[in-house]
Amino acid sequence: MRKIEIIKKKYLDQVFGIEQLSNSTPWSYSSFIDCMNKNYQFYVCTDNKKVIGFFIASFSLLEGHLLNISVAPNRKRQGVGNILLNKIESIAIEYGIKEIFLEVRESNREAIAFYENNGYRKIGLRKNYYKLSEGREDAVIYSKKIKGNLLSLKQIFYILSNIFRFRIR
Ligand SMILES: CC(C)(COP(=O)(O)OP(=O)(O)OC[C@H]1O[C@@H](n2cnc3c(N)ncnc32)[C@H](O)[C@@H]1OP(=O)(O)O)[C@@H](O)C(=O)NCCC(=O)NCCS
């Protein structure tokens, strides 16, 4: 049964395995550990305790930034990406986030189709943002406005946590 869960240490190896299969310039293992230990939104989708996808997002006061999202290659086109994006958006509403931003390689046609299918709109370009084995590649910036409450309870906690530096989920 598919389930969305907050990342746990025991899932990190599987997340890293998916990252290596999915990203031509994969994140380092230590980046994932950092994201787990810091106040990032880091969730996995599991199917009978096996990780089949994950995402990492950072939220500031009104903006969210989707930093990484991947689905295991053998589980693509089965709606897992949609489940993950829906989760990001539902947490964003809880936190009072008004807009989610992301960057994607301009050659990444599957991810671009995926985001556009989910209501993300192209808002700009970052020139030479990504490394290639030779040279560099532009990033396309996408965003989606999130409709939610004016000021959510989580947002009030978030503001307080930044002031008092305690960790909330
Ligand atoms: C992008 C990614 C997360 C999508 O995950 P997914 O689980 O395959 O996506 P879903 O099955 O939920 O697809 C949802 C919709 O997105 C669109 N879509 C997804 N993959 C697509 C593809 N290869 N070609 C065209 N449309 C695609 C379709 O409209 C699809 O709906 P449909 O299957 O009913 O037609 C996945 O392809 C992936 O992990 N890619 C490698 C990592 C990556 O590039 N991450 C993004 C970095 S910015």
Q: How confident is the model at residue 74 (pLDDT cuts 50, 70, 90)?
A: very high
Q: Which atom of ligand 1 is nearest to the CA of 85?
A: 12
10 domain-assigned: yes
121-131/136-145 β-pairing = antiparallel
110 domain-assigned: no
Establish whether residue 82 lines the binding site of ligand 1, counting it when its CB lies within 6 angstroms of any ligand atom: yes
User: What local confidence, expressed as pLDDT, does residue 169 receive?
Assistant: 53
Average of per-residue pLDDT across 92-97: 92
CB–CB of 36/7 below 8 Å?
A: yes
User: What local confidence, expressed as pLDDT, does residue 111 receive?
Assistant: 98
Sequence letter at residue 59: F
111 domain-assigned: no
Q: Hey, which bits of the chain come out as E strands?
A: 2-6, 41-47, 50-59, 63-71, 99-105, 121-131, 136-145
115 domain-assigned: no
- Which protein residue has the closest C-alpha to ligand 1 atom 26? 113
For the chain, what is the domain count?
Answer: 1
Cβ neighbour number for residue 4 with a 10 Å cutoff: 18
42 domain-assigned: yes
17 domain-assigned: yes
56 domain-assigned: yes
Q: Which domain holds residue 90?
A: 2-98+146-164
Mean pLDDT of the chain: 93
pLDDT digits over 17-60, tens only? 999 999 988 999 999 999 999 989 999 999 999 999 999 999 99
Establish whether residue 76 lines the binding site of ligand 1, counting it when its CB lies within 6 angstroms of any ligand atom: yes
CA torsion sign, 26 to 31 to 36 to 38?
negative
Q: How confident is the model at residue 150 (pLDDT cuts 50, 70, 90)?
A: low
41 domain-assigned: yes
Q: Where are the alpha helices (DSSP H) in 23-166?
A: 29-37, 80-95, 109-117, 153-164
Closest by CA to 42, choosing from 82, 8, 93, 76, is 8
* Spatial separation of the C-alpha atoms in residues 140 and 149, rounded to whole Å: 29
Please report, for the domain that includes residue 62, its CATH number. 3.40.630.30
CA torsion sign, 168 to 2 to 44 to 113?
negative
- Which protein residue has the closest C-alpha to ligand 1 atom 15? 114
Q: Is the pTM of this model over 0.75?
A: yes
CB–CB of 7/15 below 8 Å?
A: yes
Name the percent of the chain lying above pLDDT 70. Answer: 95
Which tokens belong to 21? 């299969």
